[in-house]
């Protein structure tokens, strides 16, 4: 029931790339363009990177960006899909592992934070693509990224309640609360800069944040009557 990816946009993307391969282009070309976009967004600390710059960085013709992704939004969606594919595969593996629920949840929360750190443009891309909830992009993104996160969390929560480790919580409330806590480090560059004097989120800050969030949320969800 979890990760019903057979009809997902990811599967469609694979089909589409196979089709393009028959036309003489290679999936590698699309991947090179995505890697170039990711590198430029990371270096420049913005998601507003011109398509021409992406093609130049990849050493390819700018027309190929339109060929593979049609629009700039198409390029952005493909990039989120690429990064989400890894995160979703990791969640699937974690869920299938025999670990106790509290360990699974700790790792899941820390992994969410590290995913945003690993792809520094990801938080902003998600917010930009989700801004209009009525858009096709927002709907698709919810299916291939948010949905697996929601289902993973609900499953670990249920396991933990069943084992007596967690208190019972509404999975929707839990999802919103923990996701907000995990991504907020990446939402608050102004407060970080002007109130706390932090100009850049480095690996040390990311690790300390993951530790603090996991500590606070795990203390919030465990059933302390048991201890």
Q: Which is nearer to a second copy, 56 or 158 (CB)?
A: 158
Q: Are 79 and 125 in contact (CB under 8 A)?
A: yes
Q: Please identify, among the stretches 18-26, 50-58, 73-81, 127-135, the one whose residues bind a second copy according to the rule CB under 8 A.
A: 127-135
Rounded (10°) angle between helices 72-96 and 51-58 = 70
Could you give the string, one character per residue 170-209, with x where binding to a second copy holds by CB under 8 A and - elsewhere?
x-xxxxxxxxxxxxxx-xxxxx-xxxx-x---------xx
Integer angstrom CA distances of residue 128 from 8, 48, 57, 132, 219 = 21, 11, 23, 8, 32
Least distance in Å: CB of 105 to a second copy?
12
Separation of alpha carbons 199 and 188, rounded Å: 11
Q: How far apart are the first and last CA of the chain?
A: 33
Q: What angle do CA 128, 132, 133 make, to 5 degrees?
A: 120
Least distance in Å: CB of 52 to a second copy?
22
Q: Please identify, among the stretches 14-22, 24-32, 97-105, 219-227, the one whose residues bind a second copy according to the rule CB under 8 A.
A: 219-227
Binding site for a second copy (CB under 8 A): 127, 130, 133, 138-139, 141-143, 146-147, 150, 167, 169-170, 172-185, 187-191, 193-196, 198, 208-209, 212-213, 215-221, 224, 227
């Amino acid at each position: 029931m979890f990760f019903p990816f057979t009809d997902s946009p990811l599967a469609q993307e694979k089909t589409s790339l196979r089709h393009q391969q028959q036309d003489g282009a290679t999936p590698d070309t699309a991947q090179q363009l995505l890697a170039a976009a990711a590198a430029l967004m990371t270096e420049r600390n913005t998601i507003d990177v011109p398509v021409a710059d992406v093609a130049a960085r990849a050493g390819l013709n700018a027309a190929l960006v339109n060929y593979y992704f049609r629009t700039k939004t198409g390029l952005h969606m493909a990039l989120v899909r690429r990064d989400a594919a890894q995160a979703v595969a990791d969640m699937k593996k974690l869920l299938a592992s025999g670990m106790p629920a509290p360990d699974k949840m700790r790792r899941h929360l820390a992994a969410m934070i590290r995913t945003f750190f690993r792809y520094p443009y990801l938080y902003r891309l998600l917010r930009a693509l989700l801004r209009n909830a009525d858009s096709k992009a927002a709907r698709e993104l919810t299916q291939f990224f948010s949905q697996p996160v929601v289902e993973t969390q609900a499953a670990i929560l249920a396991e933990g309640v069943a084992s007596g480790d967690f208190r019972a919580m509404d999975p929707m409330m839990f999802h919103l609360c923990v996701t907000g806590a995990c991504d907020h480090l990446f939402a608050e560059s102004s407060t970080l800069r002007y109130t706390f004097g932090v100009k850049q989120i480095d690996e040390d800050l990311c690790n300390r944040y993951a530790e603090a969030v996991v500590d606070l949320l795990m203390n919030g969800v465990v059933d302390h009557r048991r201890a």
